Amino acid sequence: MPEPRGQVPDLKTKAARLSQSSPSGEFADFLPDTSSYFEVWLADLHQPLHSLAPQPPAVVDEHAPSEFRFEGTLQVDGYAKGLVHSLTGTLILGEAAELQSNIAVATAIINGRVFGDIHATERVELLSHARVIGNIESPALAIQPGAIFDGECRYLPPPVKLDSSDSDGEERRTEPV
């Protein structure tokens, strides 16, 4: 109800009217009883810490070898464990990736973590977020600032390319310049 002009409303009376609950309880049926959910949540808080630790899967065969064979380009952005192999392929390891594996590819572009040896017939690139713990064998190696490499490096001879047959019908081998 509007107040007459020029009079200050009684704030205590208005506050008392607002704080009163609905006499008919018209909204009481719409609110769920949350006390049982609260009790379960509270009981979960009091569990011992060892029961909250992640448990290993029931059946794990750690001796089963895993091998990833591919052609073309393989990009890994997660976790993988096992041998990665491709005669002509390119492996791209993203910044968030972790690979516990030996790698045998043509080209390896690493920006994540590798725990294992890398054998590349063309080149290896360690980008700024790369972390490699293992040995590298490659004819070409590029390491950007910020990359970490803990291992030994062995340079391989560049790959030999075969030219097409000359007039005698023999193939010639040429070394790249």
pLDDT in tens, 23-54: 555 555 666 666 777 777 777 766 665 555 55
Q: Is residue 89 in a domain?
A: yes
Q: Which residues contact 149 (CB under 8 A, 6 or more apart)?
A: 126, 130, 132, 136, 143
Q: Is residue 22 in a domain?
A: no
Q: Is residue 131 in a domain?
A: yes
Q: Is residue 166 in a domain?
A: no
Name the burial class of residue 119, with classes exposed (0-12), middle (13-18) and buried (19+) by CB atoms within 10 angstroms of its CB: middle
Q: At 57, is the pLDDT very low, low, confident or very high (cuts 50, 70, 90)?
A: low
CA dist., res. 141 & res. 125, Å (int): 6
**Number of domains within the chain:** 1
Q: Is residue 121 in a domain?
A: yes
Domain extent for 84: 67-155
CA dist., res. 40 & res. 33, Å (int): 13
pLDDT in tens, 114-154: 999 999 999 999 999 999 999 999 999 999 999 999 999 99
Q: How many residues does the chain have?
A: 177
CA dist., res. 149 & res. 133, Å (int): 6
Phi, psi of 137 (to 5 degrees): -120, 120
Q: Is residue 164 in a domain?
A: no
